[in-house]
Structure 1
Amino acid sequence: MIGAGQDFAFKVLTPNWTELPKHVRAFSTLRSGGVSAGVYGNAQGQKGLNLGDHVSDDLELVQTNRRLLNATLPSDVIFLSQVHGNIVTEAETLQRGTNADAVVSVTPGLVCAVLTADCLPVLFTDELGTIVAAAHAGWRGLAGGILENTVKEMRQKGAGEIVAWMGPAIGANKFEVGQDVYDVFTRQSEIAAKFFVKIASENSDSKGQKYLADIYQLARLALDRVGVSRVYGGDFCTVSEADKFYSYRRDGVTGRMASLIWIDPAK
């Protein structure tokens, strides 16, 4: 669901898991509503809410955007240094510059967040809202087990039934990959082959074969392997929906959106 909401000065995308506890709060930002300009603005040439400080945007503008974001949150976000790996860290001990691609929290008011612009953000909570997490899953992290490791960490901390929401990522009709990516996933599971579509090519060399990959279904497959079946989202395409989302695949130089989740300390 996209809306401004009473707490926001910018529009956000909220998970459609309405039956979960109200004290779990979560959303993904869109590209509109901040102070960044040019390629970091919105699709109409107006200012944008770029939250990435590693994409050559004016750092003062990025910090202003982050202040706008933090004004809506119970604590300032500490963003991960994302490396397309499978390391999960804890919000309670997180420091700036920590290399990780997922963060878990059991403490009310501590925000878990990841940055994306085509990669898949996945937000997690257990059914009772006692533990939350955010994971960044590009294809490398997804193949490397970042989602499985996040679920494992949550369960080690006492999570009950886990629910996941897949935020905005590159859609199945736009995610062109090579034979190497196909091979990585199909070696892990024969079922994964269902989520790749061959693209016609004049190159008869099998190493030159291209595919369209469905990152949402590959993520569902990974989550299913660890017993997470209540999975929501997967309805957007960052490449196709330029009015809403930044996309590295589409634009090259572009901004980053945040997907965030926390346990509301006031509830």
Structure 2
Amino acid sequence: MGIGANWLVPDWPAPGNVHARVTTRAMAGHSRAPFDSLNLGDRCGDEAAAVAANRAALVDLLGLPASPCWLRQVHGAGVWRAESPAPPGDPPEADAAVTARDNQVLAVLTADCLPVLFCADDGSEIAVTHAGWRGLAGGVIEATLAKMRAKPSAILAWLGPAIGPASYEVAADVRDAFLDRDAGADQAFTASRPGHWRCDLYRLAWRRLAASGVERISGGGFDTRVDARFYSYRRDPRCGRFASLIWKD
């Protein structure tokens, strides 16, 4: 994992024409506490003008080739095939996006959920996915791969900053949602107290990717709840959102 000017650069074997960045709270922005300062989420209670200014500043801060294609995320498994820019002010309702277009910047917003980046190993296609527990259980990773033209064996995946298993306690309904489909997912849950388990989103995502045929998986090992670089809903329910972005040229 590389870091430059307070943003993160994923460490994965992506081809040279594929670029990715993850924003952090250390980047200068316009939002006031408790959203300080580069909050990019427009549905978390921050002032609309501050979010708009942050999103506009992001293009220059990261040297993006275009404004990101933001999504209206709903914790589902919808995937937008981004072959043209999203209409301004009318983001598509989806939790993942895929494109083969050059200079089309894809993005998802998170604050504990798992962002997953994808690219074809020949650099012809990219994707990004917002995978909280509902999305993972609902098949958002599989839906993303199904929208990509590349075969899973030709796709690379990177698991970005999310809440870690030591910080993520869930009840039986979450565990059951995974075990009902994959009994082996029990490996991702550790009993903590009666009726509750520690949940490893990274292991759950890894299982789904591997079962789909993705062989090259990088990243993981973060914990947004204890890592002050990132917004965390579990740590601070009134907080902003950071972005995971990917584009190609």
Give the TM-score category using the shorter length.
Answer: over 0.9
Matched, 1:37 2:32: yes
Gaps of 5+ in 1: 5-9, 42-47, 202-208
Distance 2:118 2:153 in 1: 12
1:219 aligned to 188, 194, 205, which one? 205
1: CA distance between counterparts of 2:42 and 2:93?
A: 15
Q: Which residue of 2 aligns with 1:186?
A: 179
The residue number in structure 2 matching 1:53 is: 42
Checking the alignment, whether the CA contact within 8 Å between 2:153 and 2:214 is kept in structure 1 is no
Distance in 2, matches of 1:89 and 1:63, equals 22
Q: Would you say 1:247 and 2:240 are equivalent positions?
A: no
TM-score by length of 1: 0.87
> Is 1:232 aligned with 2:218?
yes
Map 1:2-41 to 2 at 5 A.
Answer: 2-4=2-4, 10-17=5-12, 19-33=13-27, 34-41=29-36
Change (3 A) 1:159 1:130: farther
Quick check: 1:126–1:160 contact (8 Å CA) kept in 2?
A: no
In our comparison, the structure showing a higher alpha carbon Rg is 1
Q: Report the count of equivalent residues.
A: 243
1:196 equivalent to 2:182? Answer no
Identical aligned residues as a percent: 44
Determine whether 1:74 maps to 2:65. Answer: yes
Residue deviations 1:118-141 (CA, integer Å, cap 9, x gap): 000000001011000000001001
- Contact kept, 8 Å, 1:164 with 1:230, in 2: the verdict is yes
Residues 146-161 of structure 1 aligned to structure 2 (within 5 Å): 146-155=140-149, 161=154
- SS of equivalent to 2:162: coil
Q: Work out the CA distance in 1 between the residues paired with 2:215 and 2:163.
A: 22
- Paired residues of 2:69 and 2:104 also in contact (CA < 8 A): no
Deviation track 1:170-223 (CA, whole Å, cap 9, x = no partner) reads: 00101111101111101111110011011123xxxxxxx011000000000010
- Using the TM superposition, give the Cα deviation of residue 66 of structure 1 relative to its aligned residue in structure 2, in angstroms: 0.6
CA deviations over 1:19-41 (Å, ceiling 9, x no partner): 32111000111112222121112
Residue-by-residue CA offset, 1:53-96 (whole Å, 9 max, x unaligned): 11111221111111111222111112100011111111224343
SS at match of 2:235: helix
Q: How does 1:89-104 map to 2 (within 5 A)?
A: 89-93=80-84, 94-95=86-87, 96-104=90-98
| 1:169 matched to 2:155 | no
What is the alpha-carbon distance in structure 1 between the residues aligned to residue 45 and residue 172 of structure 2?
Answer: 32
- Structure 1 runs of 4+ aligned residues shifted over 4 Å read 157-160
Considering only aligned residues, what root-mean-square deviation do their CA atoms show, in Å?
1.4
Structure 2: gaps of 5 or more residues: none
Q: Give TM-score, length-normalised by structure 2.
A: 0.94
Residues 160 and 189 of structure 1: is their aligned pair in 2 closer, same or farther, counting only changes over 3 Å?
closer
1:3 Cα deviation (Å)?
2.1
